[in-house]
Structure 1
Amino acid sequence: MQKKVKTARPPSFISIVIKAIRPRQTWDDKDQFMDVIHWLRQLLAVILGFVWGVLPLHGIVGLLLFLAINGVGIYLYATVYQAQDEEDYGGAWDVFKEGMLTSSAFFVVNWILWYTACNYG
């Protein structure tokens, strides 16, 4: 008689979101935590793109402000709120750059769309 081997099911989307919201969680799967970092950056890009477009903020000041908020905010989320050691993820630079390019592009597109929608009739 053969024993059935139970395979672990991947965590659900909801369980990952709950884990991301709660502070000081243990992330056994390092890629999962980096995915959370990536998608938090995308969410932040949408929110800040909307805010910058409605304000109306423009120019290099808006772009640099986004980069500062995005970079520092997500880094603090990872190292302070989640209390993760950045060396477990390849160092501070890898945590900082995870999803940064795509979120920057997404932010600029959102910013332009909202700025145009709110300021040109």
Structure 2
Amino acid sequence: MRERKSVKFNLQQQQQQEDQNGHLSPFKLAKLFDPDASWDKDQLGDVLHWIRQALALLCGLLWGAIPLVGGIWFLLFVVLSSGVIYGYYALILKIDEEEFGGHGALLQEGLFASVSLFLLAWILVYSLAHF
């Protein structure tokens, strides 16, 4: 028990030292919804990528479980995914998209990987649940 307390205490001391040295922890969850936060191009790209992946997995599981078939549902996913990403960086973060390569670069971030994940989840769930 003493060992746990000392490890926890050492981690707290290390974090305080990093804060005193001007180095912040790499990422804070509150930054995701802070329009005044400064974003690095790589950080924003990573966040947009993982939001899109989570949405792809959720939609793929949902589409397969309902069961939905047809190209219209695929197009609906692409429009929904792009709309969520646009809404996130334009309305929530209120960033200047020109600093990050424009709308095209931001909307393309993680798109192809998310389409693959969406299709994989959709096909697997649909096939396993309904056949």
- The alpha-carbon distance between structure 1 residues 112 and 84, as it changes in their structure 2 partners (threshold 3 A), is same
Percent pairwise identity: 35
Shift of 1:97: 0.3
Q: Does 1:36 align with 2:47?
A: yes
- Once the two structures are superposed, the pairs formed by residues 1-121 of structure 1 within 5 Å of their partners are 6=21, 8=23, 11-12=26-27, 15=28, 17-20=29-32, 22-120=33-131
Question: C-alpha distance in 2, partners of 1:76/1:69?
Answer: 10
Structure 1: state its 5+ residue gaps. 1-5
Greater share of residues in helix: 2
Distance 2:61 2:36 in 1: 30
Counterpart of 1:26, as a letter, is A
Higher alpha-carbon Rg? 2
- Output the aligned Cα RMSD: 1.6
Q: How many residues get paired?
A: 111
Gaps of 5+ in 2: 1-20
Which segment is superposed worse, 89-98 or 79-88? 79-88
Structure 1 residues 11 and 23 mapped into 2: Cα distance closer, same or farther (>3 Å)?
A: same
Q: CA deviation at 1:9?
A: 5.7
Q: Which runs of 4+ in 1 moved over 3 A?
A: 6-10
Would the aligned equivalents of 1:27 and 1:33 in 2 still touch at CA under 8 Å? Answer: no
